[in-house]
């Protein structure tokens, strides 16, 4: 699909941005010797690994259904998002381990202004990429791409904190600020990683679609119920990556012929797909006055 190719294209852009940022930040660390800038470069290496993993998971999620995966592989995106959260936490631990020894033995910095300039340039690249990935991820309902964008944004905050620390060290000579700022930023990105993993695991557990989308579907049901004298029940929803799955029972007047009921169900499903994009729908038609129609409204009958 065109949307899937769009997601892959942005994943490739994220990969390119990570390579540029790693080059600039490693150079900044090399010329200054700052533990903060080294930590910043380490996190960007994690960004590169995460971008590669996101790209591979998007390719898997975009693969068409087959005999072994009749519902597709859309949940692969949750693996990418969860892995990104775990990598963010790993980066934070790496930063803390690198910065902690400098608390007792602060080190002077070499050519801090050049290091600041290089890191600021890398931050600008990441900021632009992070905003774009997050926006596209939300628009296309891609949790993997959105997670990649949020991961890059944590890198931006890391860089801002590190640049501020290096600037203060250069201005004041307070060498202890270098490792302290690195530890503070590490704590911040741990929280971001935890929230990403929590969201991913929720998706793997077949969470329902968002309340706003569910309300849109219920408004469609109310409209058709009032217009045609039909009823609805057994509405079940779940989401997997960029896709939504919606199933429901349509109860029609007993006298309706099958073709009329089928035509109405097709119309309702089309309305749902138009209102909630990238949705796969399934309806079941039942006679409205038949008692048995009301005995199978649960998932486990």
Hey, which of 71-75, 109-113, 208-212, 269-273 has the most confident mean pLDDT? 269-273
- What pLDDT score was predicted for residue 133? 84
Domain ranges of the chain: 2-204, 211-294
CATH 1.20.1510.10 fits 2-204, yes or no: yes
Instruction: Render pLDDT for 199-216 as a digit per residue (tens, 0 to 9).
Output: 677 767 778 888 999 999
Instruction: Render pLDDT for 152-168 as a digit per residue (tens, 0 to 9).
Output: 787 787 788 778 878 88
CA–CA separation, 95 vs 25, rounded Å?
14
- What pLDDT score was predicted for residue 3? 56
Average pLDDT over residues 220-239: 94
Instruction: Render pLDDT for 119-131 as a digit per residue (tens, 0 to 9).
Output: 889 888 888 888 8
- What pLDDT score was predicted for residue 79? 73
Looking at per-residue confidence, does 226 or 82 come out higher? 226
Average pLDDT over residues 225-250: 91
In CATH terms, the fold of domain 211-294 is: Alpha-Beta Plaits (3.30.70)
- What pLDDT score was predicted for residue 162? 77
- Global pTM reads 0.60
Does this chain's domain 2-204 share its CATH topology with 211-294? no
- What pLDDT score was predicted for residue 264? 97
- What pLDDT score was predicted for residue 249? 95
Sign of the C-alpha dihedral, residues 284, 287, 289, 295? negative
Instruction: Single out the residue of 180, 150, 152 nearest to residue 164, CA to CA.
Output: 180
Instruction: Judge whether 25 and 40 are in contact, CB under 8 Å.
Output: yes
Instruction: Render pLDDT for 248-265 as a digit per residue (tens, 0 to 9).
Output: 999 999 999 999 999 999
Share of the chain above pLDDT 90, in %: 23
Count of other CB atoms within 10 angstroms of residue 173 = 10
| Cβ-based burial of 167 (10 A; exposed 0-12, middle 13-18, buried ≥19) | middle
């Amino acid at each position: 699909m065109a949307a899937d190719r769009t997601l892959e294209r942005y994943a490739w852009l994220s990969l390119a941005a990570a390579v540029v940022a790693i080059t600039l930040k490693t150079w900044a660390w090399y010329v200054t010797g700052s533990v903060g800038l080294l930590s910043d470069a380490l996190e960007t290496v994690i960004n590169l690994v995460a971008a590669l993993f996101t790209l591979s998971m998007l390719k898997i999620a975009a693969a068409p259904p087959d005999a072994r995966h009749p519902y597709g592989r859309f949940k692969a995106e949750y693996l990418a998002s969860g892995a990104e959260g775990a990598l963010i936490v790993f980066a934070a631990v790496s930063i803390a381990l690198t910065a902690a020894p400098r608390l007792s033995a602060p080190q002077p910095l070499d050519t801090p202004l050049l290091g600041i300039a290089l890191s600021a340039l890398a931050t600008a690249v990441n900021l632009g990429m992070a905003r774009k990935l997050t926006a596209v991820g939300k628009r296309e309902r891609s949790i993997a791409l959105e997670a990649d964008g949020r991961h890059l944004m944590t890198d931006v905050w890391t860089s801002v904190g590190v640049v501020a620390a290096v600037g203060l060290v250069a201005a004041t000579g307070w060498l202890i600020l270098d490792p302290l700022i690195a530890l503070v930023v590490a704590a911040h990105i741990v929280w971001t990683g935890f929230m990403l993993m929590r969201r991913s695991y929720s998706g793997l557990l077949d969470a329902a679609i968002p309340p706003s989308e569910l309300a849109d579907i219920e408004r469609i049901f109310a409209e058709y119920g009032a217009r045609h004298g039909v009823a609805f029940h057994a509405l079940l929803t779940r989401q997997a990556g960029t896709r939504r799955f919606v199933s429901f029972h349509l109860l029609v007047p007993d006298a309706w012929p099958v073709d009329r009921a089928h035509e109405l169900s097709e119309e309702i499903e089309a309305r749902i797909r138009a209102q909630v994009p990238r949705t796969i729908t399934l309806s079941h038609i039942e006679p409205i006055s038949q008692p048995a129609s009301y005995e199978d409204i649960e998932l486990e009958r």
